[in-house]
Each structure stands twice: as structure tokens, then as C-alpha cells.
Amino acid sequence: MPAPRKYPDGLRERAIREVRTTGRPVAHVAKDLGIHKEALRGWVRQAEADAGEREDRLSTAELDKLQQLRKENAQLRRANEILKAAGVFAQEIDRPRTRPSRWPSR
């Protein structure tokens, strides 16, 4: 479960919009709005990635899809391990049992 958001979504959107429309430095906008400048810088970068303006970051939709695929992959790996263990167990049950000789062979 993700950590709770420190800043409301409305403030986040307003800050991103102000940086992108006015061209003011991130640090100045952050100081005016009482936001940590690195938090705002990350929001702006993510907004640029979502708009297709950045190639160095995944968009929010791509990040969500990646998270879903990782979760699905983990579930499939667990299921595979269970099936492997069940297969070993089934082989043990199906193996014919021979009685060991009480006398050593010559």
C-alpha cells in the first residue's frame, strides 16, 4: 500500500500548472506555496512524462501497468513453486516401493 500523500491533489495540480505556465523556477513556486522544492520538481517531471515531453521517465499509466505486471509475475512464480512441490510429492507417491533386504547382498 502506498504511503499517504503529504500534499493534497489540488495543491499538487496548482503548483505544476504554475511552474509550467509561468516559467518561474521550481524553487520559487515551491517556496510561495509552502512545498518542498524537490517534491515539486518530481511532480513537474512526472507531469512532463505523462504529457509525452520526457523520454527518460515512464508515464503514470506505464508505471501502473508495470506495477500490475510485477504483481502478476510474483503470483505466477508462487503458483509455479507450489506446482513444482506438488509434482515432487506426486512422484514420491507413485514410485513403487520395494522392501529393502534384511541381508546384505554378496
Same-domain check for residues 73 and 26: no
pLDDT over 70 (residue 101) = no
Regarding predicted confidence, which is higher, 22 or 93?
22
DSSP the chain: -PPPPSS-HHHHHHHHHHHHHH---HHHHHHHHT--HHHHHHHHHHHHHHTT--SSS--HHHHHHHHHHHHHHHHHHHHHHHHHHHHHHHHHHHSPP-PPPSS---
pLDDT at 1: 63
The whole-number average pLDDT for the span 65-73 is: 98
Same-domain check for residues 38 and 74: no
Q: Into how many domains does the chain fold?
A: 2
Residues of the domain holding 71: 59-92
The whole-number average pLDDT for the span 59-74 is: 97
pLDDT digits (tens, 9 = 90+) for 33-58: 999 999 999 999 999 999 999 999 99
Same-domain check for residues 8 and 50: yes
